[in-house]
């Protein structure tokens, strides 16, 4: 589901940023040294930020699906499994009502220096806006992605997002809404087997788009929840590809504000790369369509571009 991707993307990229920041700290460089490059590149340009935010806001921020898609009839066993998953998560009509999201919770990172704990708040906006604010052992970290760029903040240093991390974000964004748009966009859906996630028997469904990019879901026989998702994508450290995997559990109903309809969201998320755990997130609050998540919120406070 797109809502699930919102949470997962923030979780995964947030964990990667946390790991990278801790590894950078382990080099022994002084914080002031890390801030010097940012100070040279970063100049206050409020007019530029406002102009860019206005330009982005004029574009349709919500990925639209044709109304007739709600009448789609599955043709194969694989498609019937996907449609049961969509229904279990709240139904296509309700899932398409999600435009923005805010979630907060606790996170645990597995780093070369050992386990690290902290908190995070992740913000998402369709189609490709994502921001994560983290506090890891008192260290403030922010990373944000928007159409065409991204930035990160560690302490008071504001830097351009590395190209390797932008590539990770793009690989994630092209996989948004696969379950809701596969029949519209000509995405192939196949049942490629069955296996267990933990003790739960699951169907293994593979989506393949027209660019031959594949994404695999493990969908529970019993609940129809998507317990796992994986795909091959660019390494966040640059060079080569890695296997990204996300495992999800503790699915809960979350209601829309001032409305009777609701959807399901996973409150526990574990992220892995090449079967190595990066860490886990346990959500405490989830808000659907909060009004404060505007396009300008994702832009850098002091542009570096």
Map tokens 């382990």 to a residue: 26
Q: Is 282 strand, coil or helix? A: strand
Instruction: Round to whole Å and give the CA distance between 139 and 162.
Output: 20
Record the tokens describing residue 61, joined without a space: 């921020």
What average pLDDT does the segment 90-114 reach? 93
What pLDDT, on the 0 to 100 scale, is given for residue 108? 93
- pLDDT of 34 strictly over 70: no
Q: What is the pTM of this model?
A: 0.80
- pLDDT of 21 strictly over 50: no
Of 32 and 165, the one with more pLDDT: 165
Of 222, 228, 240, nearest to 8 by C-alpha is 228
Q: Is 121 strand, coil or helix? A: strand
Per residue, the 3-state secondary structure of 21-77, as one string, reads HHHHHCCCCCHHHHHHHHHHHCCCCHHHHHHHHHHHHCCCCCCCCCHHHHHCCCCCH
Largest interatomic CA distance in the chain: 60
pLDDT tens digits, 293-303: 999 999 998 65
Record the tokens describing residue 106, joined without a space: 């606790």
- pLDDT of 105 strictly over 80: yes
- pLDDT of 40 strictly over 60: no
Our CA angle for 76, 82, 87, nearest 5°, is: 125
Instruction: Round to whole Å and give the CA distance between 17 and 154.
Output: 10
What pLDDT, on the 0 to 100 scale, is given for residue 155? 84
What pLDDT, on the 0 to 100 scale, is given for residue 51? 54
Of 70 and 293, the one with more pLDDT: 293
What pLDDT, on the 0 to 100 scale, is given for residue 81? 98
What pLDDT, on the 0 to 100 scale, is given for residue 189? 98
- pLDDT of 15 strictly over 60: no
What pLDDT, on the 0 to 100 scale, is given for residue 58? 42
- pLDDT of 231 strictly over 90: yes
pLDDT tens digits, 116-142: 999 999 999 998 999 999 999 889 999
What pLDDT, on the 0 to 100 scale, is given for residue 127? 87
What average pLDDT does the segment 274-278 reach? 93
* Whole-Å CA distances, 117 to 16, 22, 105, 142, 222: 14, 12, 11, 16, 33
Our CA angle for 8, 3, 212, nearest 5°, is: 70
Strand partners, 204: 193, 218
What pLDDT, on the 0 to 100 scale, is given for residue 72? 77
Confidence of residue 65 (pLDDT cuts 50, 70, 90): very low
Look over the chain and give the mean of its residue pLDDT values, rounded to a whole number: 82
What pLDDT, on the 0 to 100 scale, is given for residue 261? 93
pLDDT tens digits, 5-14: 545 454 445 4
Of 274 and 137, the one with more pLDDT: 274
Domains and CATH numbers, the chain: 2-298 (2.50.20.10)
């Amino acid at each position: 589901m797109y809502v699930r991707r919102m949470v997962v993307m923030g979780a995964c990229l947030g964990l990667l940023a946390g790991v990278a920041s801790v590894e950078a700290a382990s080099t022994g460089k002084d914080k002031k040294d890390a801030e010097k490059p940012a100070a040279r590149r970063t100049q206050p340009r409020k007019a530029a930020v406002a102009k860019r935010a206005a330009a982005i806001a004029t574009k349709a921020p919500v990925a639209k699906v044709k109304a007739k898609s709600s009448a789609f009839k599955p043709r194969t066993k694989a498609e019937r499994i996907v449609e049961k998953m969509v229904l279990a998560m709240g139904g296509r009509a309700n899932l398409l009502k999600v435009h923005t999201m805010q979630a907060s919770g606790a996170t645990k990172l597995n780093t070369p220096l050992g386990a690290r704990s902290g908190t995070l708040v992740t913000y998402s906006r369709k189609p490709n806006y994502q921001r994560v604010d983290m506090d890891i052992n008192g260290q403030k970290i922010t990373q944000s992605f928007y159409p065409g760029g991204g930035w990160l903040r560690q302490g008071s240093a504001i830097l351009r997002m590395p190209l390797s991390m932008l590539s990770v974000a793009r690989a994630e964004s092209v996989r948004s809404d696969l379950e809701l748009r596969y029949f519209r966009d000509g995405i192939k859906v196949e049942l490629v087997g069955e296996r267990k996630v933990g003790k739960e028997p699951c169907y293994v469904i593979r989506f393949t788009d027209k660019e031959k990019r594949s994404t695999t879901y493990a969908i529970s026989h019993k609940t129809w929840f998507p317990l796992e998702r994986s795909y091959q994508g660019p390494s966040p450290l640059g060079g080569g590809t890695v296997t990204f995997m996300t495992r999800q559990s503790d699915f809960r109903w979350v209601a829309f504000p001032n409305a009777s309809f609701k959807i399901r969201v996973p409150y526990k998320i574990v992220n892995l790369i090449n079967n190595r755990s990066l860490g886990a997130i346990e959500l405490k609050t989830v808000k659907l369509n909060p009004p404060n998540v505007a396009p300008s919120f994702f832009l850098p406070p002091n542009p570096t571009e």
